A and B are shown apart, each in its own frame.
Chain A
């Protein structure tokens, strides 16, 4: 799917300062070497299984299925991973790779805090220094995760530049990387940024679809009719889609954060409202104005609050292989509450965007159909914010 320059159709590439070019080339060479190295893969598999708790369950949501009255619904339980989200899959891979490359320090950006917590966790485990950049606004929205990162030994730097959210945290992490390269690996949290990051992160997240495929064959004796996942940068979605891309009968559906609606300016639905541009090291779709200035975006979900989307998603959209649908704050919050009451599972507000679309889709499909929703993370971190959204005066 990738050519040597990291292109997915017209998307991808390496639009970064010259200062970082040798660093990404070195990273690519190391990755090409270690991904074929049996010892590296044994070590990573052991970490994923013994430390992170893989494989994650594929749970048949019987009550939800009966309630919606259509397709059978399975939940891919990435929320059960150690640290509470799919982010750990990528982080363990990158941290191990960085360690093999002789790096002693990890830097990362984080939105909701899940990737920051996962990176801080891997750094603690592997004895590495860790610095996490987080938008100032997000440090307030996700105060508990800031505490968790600090508890794990990481330094959290609140970013005040720009809109003080995820895109600014990415910019600041890139700036820090140009400042200190020798001992530092930038542990990017999504399938975005310059090549080779979109490929590396996808490969480490592809464990999700590899497991879904085996688990569906075991439980149903066939592949699902649709796989649904939320998309910010798009790492849990590409991980959920990847091994189904060649299976043309499996619909791949990415759910973007529409915020207050795609017809408002308070949205983060990049495919629905953006256009092709060049930013954060890649060519892809971005929310931007007519002069290419990156637009401030909004979503209730700090993890989906990003003005771009990974280049492989942009390509899957261009060729019509995957569908991208917007889901509003209100729909996501309703799905958050619905899954809690119906199945006793509190999903991350990010994942609730995927649940919301499944609630629209399932009733339109026959009972002989199966859909898989990736529950990318757990929702404990969101409870206070959702309570406030519903008008309760709850603070952590």
Chain B
């Protein structure tokens, strides 16, 4: 069984996303530990890409800050090695196909296994292109996480049937970023997902406050939050770990017993 399943064993899951290297890798490490200490069930570590086409302004800016600060894929691998000395919750990388491809897919994915990365989320790798990396992910036991969008419709069943790790349900049209309102009929999407797979599903994009998170977790198995956390890093820089810890606690408390 995938290690990622452990993330969904403590009630509904809260999954924070953190851009590695913003403002520096020491802060990233401290933020990850603060999030885990305060109840984060799975950590999404963003490897910054120069041109993140699925991201809104908050994560775009964080990516560029991190790259300007000199972060590289190799330095992020070292960060994960260091984190794995004490962090046991599942961790996945979120990045773009070119970051994996250019590093050498086998070299990248085998390193993921060696350092304790459990899965890979690539927003520009849809179902039709997953063969690019899937055989290597299987070879090295790294889950290739699939995404489902509000526009997926007739594709939901096909994607869910072959999904592994967990399913990432995109809450709304558009790119990542905080939204005041989420109008997609997510219950209908989750219903099709449940009919086609037993793996957990979590909802992300646009979630920033405990009410939204509780609502999304009630509909699914957990809530994913990126931009709201990255915003705290933008605001507080090296002092962010305390703020992120408090935020994660509030969010985990909101989702843990969420039900419809």
Contact = CB atoms under 8 A, between A and B. Distances in A.
A5 B103 CA distance: 25
A171 B50 CA distance: 11
Interface string A153-194: 000000001100001100100110011110000000000000
B248 interface: no
A175 B53 contact: yes
A18 B170 contact: yes
A20 B67 CA distance: 27
A288 B101 CA distance: 12
Contact of A15 (B64, B124, B146, B170): B124
A294 B124 CA distance: 15
B48 to A, nearest CB: 8
Given A5-B128, A17-B124, A23 B151 contact: yes
Interface in B155-180: 155, 159, 170, 173-175
Contact of B155 (A22, A175, A178, A278): A22
Interface residues of A, number: 37
Given A22-B153, A161-B57, A291-B102, A17 B147 contact: yes
Contacts, number: 118
A280 interface: yes
B158 to A, nearest CB: 11
A14 interface: yes
B175 A178 contact: yes
B162 to A, nearest CB: 13
B220 interface: no
B83 interface: no
Interface string B2-24: 00000000000000000000000
A161 B159 CA distance: 32
8 contacts: A5-B128, A14-B126, A14-B129, A18-B159, A178-B54, A178-B174, A278-B101, A293-B50
A64 B144 CA distance: 58
Contacts of B103: 291-292
A361 B56 CA distance: 47
Given A19-B149, A22-B155, A293-B67, A174 B53 contact: yes
B51 A18 contact: no
Contacts of A171: 51, 53
A278 B124 contact: yes
A325 to B, nearest CB: 25
Contact of B102 (A22, A23, A178, A290): A290
